[in-house]
Amino acid sequence: MTPQDASAAAEKVCLLAPVVPVLVVDDASIAADLAKALVAGGLPALEVTLRTPAALDVIREMATVPGGVVGAGTLLTPKDVENAKAAGATFGVSPGATDLLLDACEANDLPLLPGVATASEAMRLLERGYTVQKFFPAEANGGAPALKAIGAPIPQVKFCPTGGVSLKNARDYLSLSNTLCVGGSWVAPKDKVLAGDWAGITALAVEAAALQ
């Protein structure tokens, strides 16, 4: 997979909804129910972070849910890429980007949303062919004003800002011409997940899906 093809595929994922839920799930037995709740609310693109021992099993379960498009977040190594792809992930997300990781994603045909924090990082990825990138950690790096400033001289790149994004500030990012969508965890709060409050999570997803 070429970087250009990867970015085209990543853009399609980003355009499915204004918000990509960023999910840290400890229990694979509730994964399908969580995915169904989010998809029902209008958020089909799901990023499962590889931060728990259950993450790969969570991806496997969510990949069976009709209408869901499941990706793996926190990809750090080539092994992460291989494991995510084998588990059923159809896209990947990383906090940063290294040549090893990019090579692995391209070799495994896994579209990657690579993370950047600076204009130089964005330019380096653009030079390789990546025109769709993740701005991370968004709020810590200056928020929407910083992303707008980066976009002025580098309009070729579109972003999915993640990290500190919430219902309160999501529109600040989504109003920018260089933002395709945002990533956020607020649509699946831990208390609702632990309580199995799927209706409550669907309601949060509906609210997020209506953001413009």
To the query of whether residue 106 is one of the catalytic residues in this protein, the response is no
Strands 112-113 and 115-116: unpaired
pLDDT digits (tens, 9 = 90+) for 171-199: 999 999 999 999 999 999 999 999 999 99
Catalytic residue among 85, 134, 158, 192: 134
Burial of 209 (0-12, 13-18, 19+ CB in 10 A): middle
pLDDT at 212: 76
- Mean pLDDT calculated for residue range 80-104: 98
- Mean pLDDT calculated for residue range 36-60: 98
Residues 6+ apart with CB under 8 A from 85: 108, 109, 110
Which two three-digit tokens encode residue 210? 């209506």
Which helix (H) or strand (E) segment holds residue 55: the answer is: helix 55-62
Strand-pair partners of 46: 70
pLDDT at 211: 96
Spatial CA neighbour of 72 closest among 28, 113, 34, 27: 113
- Mean pLDDT calculated for residue range 131-155: 97
CA distances from 110 to 106, 113, 140, 163, 195 (A): 6, 10, 28, 22, 33
- Mean pLDDT calculated for residue range 158-171: 97
> pLDDT above 90 covers what percent of the chain?
100
CA distances from 208 to 6, 38, 59, 84, 172 (A): 26, 10, 22, 26, 14
To the query of whether residue 139 is one of the catalytic residues in this protein, the response is no
pLDDT at 90: 98
Residue 51 has pLDDT above 90, yes or no: yes
- Mean pLDDT calculated for residue range 137-159: 97
Cα separation, 54 vs 51, in Å, equals: 8
Catalytic residue among 47, 85, 106, 158: 47
pLDDT at 77: 98
3-class DSSP assignment, residue 120: helix
Can you give the pTM of this predicted structure?
0.96
206 within 8 A of 38, measured Cβ to Cβ: no
Cα separation, 108 vs 212, in Å, equals: 34
pLDDT at 141: 97
Residue 83 — very low, low, confident or very high, per pLDDT cuts 50/70/90? very high
